[in-house]
Amino acid sequence: MATKTAASGIKARDGRSTREAILEAASRLIHVHGYNHTSLDDVLRESGVGKGNFYYHFKSKEELGYAILDQAIASFLAETLEPCFSDPGRRPLAQIRCFFDRVHEIQREQNCVGGCAFGNLAAELSDVHEGFRTRLAVVFSAWHERLTQALHEAHRRGDLHDGCRPEAVAHFLVASLEGAILLTKLTKDISVMEQCVTEMNRYLSLYELGA
Amino acid sequence: MATKTAASGIKARDGRSTREAILEAASRLIHVHGYNHTSLDDVLRESGVGKGNFYYHFKSKEELGYAILDQAIASFLAETLEPCFSDPGRRPLAQIRCFFDRVHEIQREQNCVGGCAFGNLAAELSDVHEGFRTRLAVVFSAWHERLTQALHEAHRRGDLHDGCRPEAVAHFLVASLEGAILLTKLTKDISVMEQCVTEMNRYLSLYELGA
DNA sequence: AGGTATGTACCGACTGGTTGGTACAAATGG
DNA sequence: CCATTTGTACCAACCAGTCGGTACATACCT
């Protein structure tokens, strides 16, 4: 018996999955309760990992925060942003509208709870923790850049009015989406999100040529 | 000497001003550090008030939070919102644009630090503290209502396109402003706010008649 | 093969400091 | 003199982080 490893009892953790269990529990808790208000003990209880073990895998709570953030950034870029903007079947402006819908859908899926993890952390930490502020600025900058790129591409194709300033429009779109998510989370009313997406589409049509 | 009262030494507090000193220090600290991450001891140190004294004036930290929020709501409505929207020298849409400028100015004044106190608290607490969520919903609802009212008034005057749905537009404007403030606070770049205000004005002009 | 050393993964008790909140006596003032 | 107002000492719970120790697989030495 017991051929080789402990062969998966009720826990079955090896180095790799322990780190992932911590990451999973922590990002879930921090998304809802914030960074400061999520204690290590909460994370440990939720993930079933002991304290000494935690400090074997992470050197501090701050480093855990960075790890979660880096993971969330990668997953946002790869699983939410890119799928919309690399769809070759849509023209750039349609890609942007598709992204609005995706954000709307996510808020509906999570029942208006949690909001945007990046927006929450930005509100909580940008003024008190420069390390987090910088990392958060990176996500928003990547997001902004993807929108700017799509707008430039639309202009190149002749879909966009000349009066459109892509960088300003992109900033406004990011801001509007973040604000809409926040307002939806506060009111717990998904129709707020719907209305905002409708108005964002109208705003975009302001610059659109040959619809 | 010492005629009657302590005659204003370095402290000079009576019942009224102690409460106000606590309120002032707490709202300043909470605006930047958030509710959970501002400790009573911080507030006490900053205001020079003793602990027993604090608990004479407030029955808990939670009640202090409510008091601060109520005070901030009243001051926002009276000193920021109303002045813009009760100006009889401007037409409703101009009042709205004036409000955009006011928000922009405030962010510039506070050097992109602090963001919106209500937005910050909404992000921090809407999912974990129903009491705060409800109170915060009240401010945003009042704000939303004031915008809706101005839009209806504009429509009555014939300044507004028929296709404009005031409630949806108002939600979008609130969301955009909140998002713009958040993004400005994160990037620490006031030009983000400028760009957003410019685009909001363009958006508004979508519905405007006879400019 | 058998003993020893090494690196990885893990645990739970403990520490020093902070938290929100209480007890209570002293001062203040009409 | 009695209400209000205040300062100080204190508490239990909680916080991030440390410590000593265990379990076990692999590598190394003779």
Is the pLDDT at B16 greater than 80? The verdict is no
Residue A187 placed within a domain: yes
Q: How far is it, in rounded angstroms, from Cα A54 to Cα A36?
A: 18
As beta bridge partners, residue A208 has A160
Chain centroid to Cα A7, Å, comes to 36
Is the pLDDT at B2 greater than 80? The verdict is no
Examine the domain organization and report whether B32 and B108 are in the same domain.
Answer: no
Confidence of residue A17 (pLDDT cuts 50, 70, 90): confident
**The domain spanning residue B179 has which CATH number?**
1.10.357.10
Residue B3 placed within a domain: no
Helix (H) or strand (E) holding A150: helix A130-156
Distance, Å, A14 CA → D30 C1': 34
Which pLDDT score, from 0 to 100, does residue A6 have?
30
More confident residue, A10 or A133: A133
Nearest to A102 by CA among A166, A181, A192: A181
Helices (H) and strands (E) in chain A, counts: 10, 0
Which pLDDT score, from 0 to 100, does residue A12 have?
39
Which pLDDT score, from 0 to 100, does residue A16 have?
65
Helix (H) or strand (E) holding A100: helix A92-109
Average pLDDT on A16-39 reads 93
Q: What are phi and psi of B208, to 5 degrees?
A: -80, 140
Examine the domain organization and report whether B49 and B68 are in the same domain.
Answer: no
Examine the domain organization and report whether B160 and B91 are in the same domain.
Answer: yes
Residue A99 placed within a domain: yes
User: Residue B47: CB partners within 8 Å, gap ≥ 6?
Assistant: B21, B22, B24, B25, B26
Q: Which of B27, B43, B58 is the last residue of a domain?
A: B58
Examine the domain organization and report whether A46 and A86 are in the same domain.
Answer: no
Residue A31 placed within a domain: yes
ipTM of the complex: 0.91
Q: Which residues from B are below 8 Å from A35, CB to CB?
A: none
Q: Which of A58, A79, A95 is the last residue of a domain?
A: A58
Examine the domain organization and report whether A116 and A37 are in the same domain.
Answer: no
Residue A88 placed within a domain: yes
Which pLDDT score, from 0 to 100, does residue B117 have?
97
Q: What residues make up the domain containing A25?
A: 12-58
CB A125 within 8 A of CB A69: no
Examine the domain organization and report whether B51 and B102 are in the same domain.
Answer: no
Helices (H) and strands (E) in chain B, counts: 10, 0
Ramachandran category for residue B113: left, alpha or beta (phi over 0 → left; psi -120 to 50 → alpha): beta
Average pLDDT on B160-182 reads 97
Minimal Cβ distance to A183: which of B171, B187, B198: B171
Task: Give the closest nucleotide to A37 (alpha carbon vs C1').
Answer: D15
Q: How far is it, in rounded angstroms, from Cα B148 to Cα B168?
A: 9
User: What is the Cα gyration radius of chain A?
Assistant: 21
Distance, Å, A77 CA → D10 C1': 52
Positions of strand C less than 7 angstroms from a protein CB: 8-14, 18-25, 28-29
Is the pLDDT at B121 greater than 90? The verdict is yes
Examine the domain organization and report whether A20 and A91 are in the same domain.
Answer: no
pLDDT tens digits, B35-63: 999 999 999 999 999 898 999 999 999 99
Residue B5 placed within a domain: no
pLDDT tens digits, B61-105: 999 999 999 999 999 999 999 999 999 999 999 999 999 999 999
Examine the domain organization and report whether A143 and A199 are in the same domain.
Answer: yes
Examine the domain organization and report whether A77 and A105 are in the same domain.
Answer: yes
More confident residue, A135 or B3: A135
Confidence of residue B187 (pLDDT cuts 50, 70, 90): very high
Chain-chain contact of A123 with B167 (C-beta, under 8 angstroms): no
Chain-chain contact of A183 with B178 (C-beta, under 8 angstroms): yes
pLDDT tens digits, A83-139: 999 999 999 999 999 999 999 999 999 999 999 999 999 999 999 999 999 999 999
Average pLDDT on A18-25 reads 93
pLDDT tens digits, A32-85: 999 999 999 999 999 999 999 999 999 999 999 999 999 999 999 999 999 999
Domain count, chain A: 2
What do you get for the CA distance between the two ends of chain A, in Å? 70
Residue B90 Cβ < 7 Å to strand D: no
Examine the domain organization and report whether B105 and B134 are in the same domain.
Answer: yes
Minimal Cβ distance to A127: which of B137, B185, B192: B185
What do you get for the CA distance between the two ends of chain B, in Å? 69
Examine the domain organization and report whether B104 and B179 are in the same domain.
Answer: yes
Q: How far is it, in rounded angstroms, from Cα B173 to Cα B184?
A: 16
Residue B85 placed within a domain: yes
Examine the domain organization and report whether B169 and B78 are in the same domain.
Answer: yes
Which pLDDT score, from 0 to 100, does residue A3 have?
25
Confidence of residue A14 (pLDDT cuts 50, 70, 90): low
**The domain spanning residue B30 has which CATH number?**
1.10.10.60
Residue A176 placed within a domain: yes
